Structure 1
Amino acid sequence: MLPTPIKDTESSFIFPDQTCQRFTVAEIQSATQNFDEALVIGWGGFGKVYKCSNIGSMSEVVVKRLHSMSNQGANEFESEVKVLSMLRHGNLLSLIGYCNDEREMVLVYEFMPNGTLEDYLRKPNSSLSWLQLLKICVGAAQGLDYLHRGTSAQHGVIHRDVKTSNILYLDLIRIEVDTAIGSSKDGSSRTFTYSELASATNDFMEEVLSPTVNELIYIGWVDERTSAPTKCGIGLPIYVRKIVILSQKVIKLKNFNHPKFVKLLGYCCNKEELFCVYEFIHGKSLDKYLYREQATTSLSWVARLNIAIGVAESLLYLHKRNQAAYSQFKTSHILVDTDFNARLSDFSFVSYSFQIDRYYAAPEWFRYLADRFDRLFRDEDTFVSLHGLSPADDFAMKNEIYAFGVVLLEILTGMMVYDEERPLGKKNLVEWAMPLLADEVNLRMIMDPQLQHNGCPPKGAFKLAQLVLNCLHGKKDERPSMEEILLVLNQCYQEEIKRV
């Protein structure tokens, strides 16, 4: 691969290495096995199209070779490569590299394994759902709109050959992992094949409703060292979540590798479905400790602070990576072991959801939804507005901080965020508690009675109440960061440890 510029008689054009690579004829011949006819996967107006492997840093690519009878000269080819190298959009197949040497004119693209839209439409029983077809249409429209209006070219770019055979059925999910494909030797996440998951879960036979998210999960078993599928009862128990990704999504698995997360063992990507494999943890969620089993379980003030600190550390780890993991964070997402250590479960790779729990959602979340759905019925590109329903990372993290404030309120009071059995005016915990949190005397009215000694709340309770108020602030920019939240929680914990 040569980092040399394209040259013509009047100008010199240098492609950045990360944008477009220049390959030698020897590299192209090696990748195509000297243009072996067995590697030809199609013909185009350009010439023959080859599927190749191992060129540069790419494992699979498509090589388009200019037909020897073409009238296109070197200058025209170089001009075309210039334009193609500048086109960068999620719905366009990007040019990886080119070759222009010894009368060989070649373009190199990333190989898309799912074939073309034409291939799928010609099948007797097409496997594409209506939603998939709509997404493909939206993606093609967005790509063309970019060509027409979004490029740096003065007058835009005209495709001239829009047809189903030129629309690839793109993978909807791109996974970024920090280990090699295959079995993991260092405990990091690995890839599973669909057949491996089917074997580990006995063909997905044992399915149960997740206690934390409204979806089915599948129970299975794998080898504790290699994560290879084993028989029921042998090795490490796991559970598998099936997640549908509604838009193109880059997933960085290393962002979810933390000691206080339920361990993500690996994943399997199948079209728009993502199967996530987690270690099965025996424990109870925080909501059960707080108010579902009060007759038999009591959490001390120290234990509650320890749990809150563990959760804050986990969320801080994510926020430092600009990653929100929950559209609606709740006490049910917090698993508590016998030593009262917290582990976060069922974190999501998509930071938004249409299933909104109003009692954990920040006020701006509803304004955001109202604006998007209002546009859905006003705009000409209505489906695009719905398709792009993905809030910015900062927006999602501020919403997560609000939800964590609700969780802290539940920890402080030992009450559910909403209880139909409470008297009128007290059913919604946030609305009832907000005026009382600002006064240390009034705080006793909502403080968990199990924590009060002689009618007085523990030391640090009022400081925690002020933190809750700040987290629930109506203006998202006025809410504290996770670093500030963790600092206050540690102060409360240290004060209580000294007192005890």
Structure 2
Amino acid sequence: MFSVGDEGKLQSLAMEHAFHRFSLAEIQVATQNFDDDLIVGKGGFGKVYKGRINDNRDTTERIVAIKRLDSFSNQGAAEFKTEIEMLSELRHRHLVSLLGYCSDNNEMILVYEYMPNETIEHHLHKADTPLTWMQRLKISIGAAEGLDYLHTGVGTQLGVIHRDVKSSNILLDEYWTAKIADFGLSKIIDQQTSGVSTRLKGTFGYLDPEYYMTGRLTRKSDVYSFGVVLFELLSGRRAVDRLFVDEGLNLAAWARKCIKERRIDWVVSSHIATQISPRCLKEFVQIAGRCVKSSRKERPTMAEVVAALQLSMALQEQSDRPAQAESSTGFTYKMQNLLFGSRHNSGEPDTLPSTHNGHMEHSFKMFSYRDIERATRNFGSHMLLGHGHYGEVFRGWLDKKTYSPSMSDSGLIIAVKRLFTYKFNPHMVKEIQQKMKSLEEFSDPNVVKILGYCAEEDSVLIIYEFMHQGTLNDYLFSVERRTERHLFISRVKISIGVARGLVFLQTQPKLVDCSLQMHNILLDEEFNAKLSDFDVAMLVASSDAPLYLQPNSSYDLKVKNGVFDFGVLLMELLSGNPVASESDLTATRHRLPGEHGFVSLPSIYGALDCRIKLNFLQTKPAVQLALLSQKCAVDKSYLRPTLESVLEELEEIYVIMLNIGNSGN
């Protein structure tokens, strides 16, 4: 694999630039003989291990990343040598440092500094730790500085074109500093040379279209790829996504289209939309849009990109200094108004609602048992709504302003949950009051709102807002509602509400093992979905088993990692049928467009719930929803999107339907 001359050259570089030539035995010790438990990354090149090596300068151990290339890897011997040669010459705080290599027994192993916060790709598309807007700005500036150094800073005569700039090749250290990695495809060029003709290399979605057409590689090819990364950071979307069918699956083409149509909000991730100042967003989108221009001549240099991104950060910092909330200008705020309208409810006392960090907050009212008894007509059987997981639920009426019992079946309708408890005693009252106090923070527009509680007369009662459309389980599957005609846009709206609620619940540390079933998803008059029973789970001791347990109508939605289960829920919303077993799931998958990558527009009509009628313009959003459900429910977990990115796609589908006008449906 290596000639004597090649091996000699690598050893000479190692001595000259003070990096180490490791023996295979040292690498085996560092990786515990390539233990699979130490694998931190995989790709077409091979595997990356987290290892420990002894620093030659003292006896301390150092954590490193060890990349072992497969002998049949796409990244062959030539690229292995190129990477060593490149990194021996390059030294910059925004480039990953090479510590050494191993070529014993024709192995191709590279040893790098370890990057504990992994890659941009990991955080945008895989992890449950989405980056803040300021983190994304700092990362983009760091990566841009690294590329600018490559293009202009290696020497007076030479420059380097990376040729494979993408989110998976931008790593993050313990301080979240961005560092560019993987130089196996890089090319050294003369500073005076505009470009070089070479075999086509790179990654689809990031590939400069002019390089693709002509085979001529220039620094502006890296600029194009980096522009895709910028839009990836802004949107949270992958460079290639089935959503962009009309744009050839291409994020860059889709972003250009959105900018041209003045729909910049579409390109902004809902997770960060409220964090971005308008001036910062304008500057960021402008430079990202210039980077992905089809013509190289219209693209900026990396030095210009660095300057524009630094200006973007300055504008953001300037906006943040007064600590004024920018959420009213963001995409998330607009979507909330489109979906849910104003949060103010004029029918409730003005003293109750307030906002904090974007969530509703209010102090719970302590009701007397006598008042709730009167409001529910002495818990009469005609007021019984059903048996929940933790107790019985009754309908009741309160005066809208005073919250005193209303005896005229008018005013503010409420739901009263009477909890089953076996250990009630007077000492519990104080404990329940403390727990209810903690629940005042547990508030979100997509979690059923608590109005108050009662803890007396050997009873624990929780008073909630009333949800007029009942449970999602009944809405979809009950015999009584099988004849109702349903709007497709309502199904999309329901899915967004559930996703929003789950994203919120993921931030609650006390809900590690909780799951959600269809009968715990409730719908208000406007088909806004809200989640229930999680608050009660925080109140009731685990030993207090509920008297009534509803049978599963579908897969449980896992709060902490529920993308697969949410995909199943989307399938149920589309098909109108429960998915309660593996065979149900297989059958539903097969009927929906998108399984095995095949999309047939007419097939959506046969797969949809018969209660839904689509007009022609709504076919595309329906197919998009079907594809999203298939993507969420793939067998391999690492291929599934994050719940946050799923939410973004759902919001975009909803906006598309609003633009269609929901004509006739």
Q: TM-score, length-normalised on structure 1?
A: 0.45
